[in-house]
Structure 1
Amino acid sequence: MIWRNIASNFFTLLVVLLVVLAGAVAWAKREFSGAGPSEIAQCVQIAPGASLNAVSKQLAEQGAISSAYIFRAGADYMEKSRDLRFGSYLMPPRASMEDIVETVTRGGPSTCGTEVILRIGVRENTILLRDINPETGAYEERDRYDPGKGDAPEAIIAAQEKEDSRIRMTLAEGATSWQVVQGLKGAGFLSGEIDEIPDEGSLAPDTYEIEKNEDREALLTRMAQRQATILAEEWEARPFGLPYETQQEALIMASIVEKETGVPDERPQVASVFVNRLEQGMRLETDPTVIYGITGGEGVLDRGLRRSELNQTTPYNTYRVDGLPPTPIANPGRASIRAALNPAETDYLFFVADGSGGHAFGRTLEEHEANVARWREIERQRGQSTDSPVQGGG
């Protein structure tokens, strides 16, 4: 009888333990998959070679997770305990431990922490230092400088040397290849020499993730490959009947469209003007090509064109020569390439500034002259010079 009681009590205790264990497992699963404790966004930084144990303690200390043990156990259960990826990752408020494990083992570009950005623009190049504010999820600028005009601030030098800093390069639409090369030469986080300036128009304006000490020539190759891909894709999707025999001719037109307007919605209309002119045997008569012939793409003219320059015959003076200039005059973005290959269907042959940042388009010389007169009046009201010539396309 006593052994029967002992067995019965043991069985009861075992059942209780199993129920408690099942409850604990269910609770742990809910803790692992449920909303996390942090009410604000958190920047989770994974150091190179960090262990799961160290990361779990770090996350618990910063309040991103409720239990380091459950985090480790969950990562083990998901078979991802050895898959940690170096980087800095922004976690949204109430991110679960499961979501955090997925993010820090999937990897990819860092989404928070310190960021150094080289911005190559049409008028200047800038290197920025930014840090993300976890509470807002937005980057806040800490420092900046022009690499062509002085030494880097100490804060930017220190950020470039940090292992977990994210480094990017952004190329603006309409910058020339010479401007790109100057920007890359001034970036201390890149390495290697640049043997020659890439062909004009061959580099894709975009944002590029950069490895520290990445070779400058290798980065230019990446930019050229992306532009070639974009051009091929847009060329393949073009309609029939355009006045281009080659992709290069389309790229030349795209660069002109890029330099003629800063209003995105105008690009197809601007392209239509130049396509209509080509089809009717008219000269393009566009100022940006003349400017490129003067500067060679090395910097900005920073003054109006002189009539003597418009009257001088050069390969890029589309007031004096027929057809397209011999090369692109800048690096156009995808939108301008698409506009050049998909121009709006219009009867426009002229356009001129309208005072709003955009342009007034005209079908006839009479319409164009009226638009020019309105623009001259706007210039007079603003106290600007009205001596610079306005002809043809631009």
Structure 2
Amino acid sequence: MGWGLRIVAGTLVLATAATAGVGVWGFQRYTAPGPLEQAETVVIPRGSGLETIAITLGDAGVIGSPLLFVASAKLSRLLRDQKAGGDLKAGEYQFPAGISIEGVLEQMRQGHTIVHRFTVPEGLTSAQVVALLARESALTGEIATPPKEGSLLPETYHFAYGDSRATLVERMQTAMTQALAEAWKGRDANLPFETPQQALTLASVVEKETGIAAERPKVAGVFINRLEAGMKLQSDPTVIYALTEGSGELGRALTRNDWKLESPFNTYQITGLPPGPIANPGKASIQAVMKPERHEFLYFVADGSGGHVFAKSLADHNRNVAKWREVQQGRPAERGETSPD
């Protein structure tokens, strides 16, 4: 072999070795622990390109070299198989301390973002739910049209950073539609309402009357009995809803003048159900209305311990009311103090 050929051959060997060395160095940097000293939350906005993602991760201290990150992402995109995942996904990520470039790419290809939880407590009005949504900073957009009262199912909903408030409302409405339809199918026979919406309305009243799960079927039974007897429901929460126009809590005790308020929601003035729900009831209250406890009670009042005491006659109820007022005011009830009945 001539000297020229030997020089060329030697040069090729050196180049190959150098390339291999660079490859080994690059792979070591690709799989080596990164510079992050403690877990860090990073938001990657929708529409971010690879270079923007690299800079964002570099600024957050997740990776040490944005250039190496970009090169690794492009190379692994060419070499990876289907199992390796797709493109990098936007979202809110929590990266653990020391995560490698390989780990970052895998987490972002799989879209393992932070899962947020939004809980809708039972018995809130739709206006109150919208107010809660407005305070959730991880959501985007506004609620253009207030949801119909009673259309949102109280539950815990999972969402990702950047999801829209409107989309979450749609999920709540779908969940309520499904829950109501399922409960309606399994309802008892001969109930004093003809439509699921009427049942939902009564369920919202039951929801606001008691927070004790075991009491709900019994409270529902009282209202069923009153409807069947042609009696007014006389539910304080319906008056509060009328006074606040569905905005939330009244912030004071009801007065006798409040019971006289002219409103289609004031069940001290109207006979039968109000024209619609007064809150968003949970599944337990909906189920209680569909399968109420059968008894002869027509009245109930708070017992001072968080629950209620029930009565079949107005006389017994008035005695129970007097005892409750003693608890409330710390004094014996005055003669003549009775319920509106």
TM-score scaled by structure 1? 0.58
Seen in structure 2, the aligned counterparts of structure 1 residues 195 and 388 have a Cα distance that, compared at 3 Å, is farther
Seen in structure 2, the aligned counterparts of structure 1 residues 389 and 298 have a Cα distance that, compared at 3 Å, is farther
* 3-state SS of paired residue (1:351): strand
Asked if the contact 1:172–1:205 (Cα under 8 Å) also holds between the matched residues in 2, the reply is yes
Seen in structure 2, the aligned counterparts of structure 1 residues 385 and 185 have a Cα distance that, compared at 3 Å, is farther
Pairwise CA distance, 1:388: 9.4
Amino acid in the other structure paired with 1:197: P
* Residue in 2 that maps onto 1:334: 283
* Residue in 2 that maps onto 1:208: 157
CA distance in 2, matches of 1:82, 1:302: 57
Q: CA RMSD in A?
A: 3.4
Long gaps (5+) in structure 1: 1-42, 50-78, 89-103, 110-162
Alignment of 1:289-304 (within 5 A): 289-304=238-253
CA distance in 2, matches of 1:232, 1:242: 16
Amino acid in the other structure paired with 1:246: T
Q: 1:325 aligns with which of 254, 274, 280?
A: 274
Seen in structure 2, the aligned counterparts of structure 1 residues 168 and 387 have a Cα distance that, compared at 3 Å, is farther
Task: Show CA shifts across 1:271-318 (max 9, x none).
Answer: 000000000000000100011001011121010112112112210111
Amino acid in the other structure paired with 2:286: I
More strand by percentage: 1
* Residue in 2 that maps onto 1:352: 301
CA distance in 1, matches of 2:246, 2:233: 19
Task: Show CA shifts across 1:322-370 (max 9, x none).
Answer: 1000110000000000001110011000000101100000011111112
* Residue in 2 that maps onto 1:225: 174
CA distance in 2, matches of 1:228, 1:235: 11
* 3-state SS of paired residue (1:210): strand
* Residue in 1 that maps onto 2:184: 235
* Residue in 2 that maps onto 1:257: 206
CA distance in 2, matches of 1:188, 1:178: 18
Q: 1:193 aligns with which of 121, 142, 164?
A: 142
* Residue in 2 that maps onto 1:10: none
Q: Which moved more, 1:305-314 or 1:175-184?
A: 305-314
Higher relative contact order (CA 8 A, sep 6+): 2
CA distance in 1, matches of 2:156, 2:328: 37
Asked if the contact 1:380–1:386 (Cα under 8 Å) also holds between the matched residues in 2, the reply is no
* Residue in 2 that maps onto 1:280: 229
* 3-state SS of paired residue (1:291): helix
Amino acid in the other structure paired with 1:306: T
Q: Are 1:266 and 2:215 counterparts?
A: yes
Structure of higher CA gyration radius: 2
Pairwise CA distance, 1:82: 3.8
Asked if the contact 1:201–1:328 (Cα under 8 Å) also holds between the matched residues in 2, the reply is yes
- The total of aligned residue pairs comes to 251
* Residue in 2 that maps onto 1:314: 263
Pairwise CA distance, 1:83: 6.8
Alignment of 1:66-77 (within 5 A): none
Amino acid in the other structure paired with 2:233: L
Task: Show CA shifts across 1:215-243 (max 9, x none).
Answer: 11111111000000000000000011000
CA distance in 2, matches of 1:183, 1:384: 40
* Residue in 2 that maps onto 1:380: 329
* Residue in 2 that maps onto 1:305: 254
Amino acid in the other structure paired with 1:349: L
Task: Show CA shifts across 1:244-279 (max 9, x none).
Answer: 110000000000000000111000000000000000
Identity fraction in percent? 45
* 3-state SS of paired residue (2:160): coil
Amino acid in the other structure paired with 1:195: A
CA distance in 2, matches of 1:217, 1:390: 43
* Residue in 1 that maps onto 2:64: none
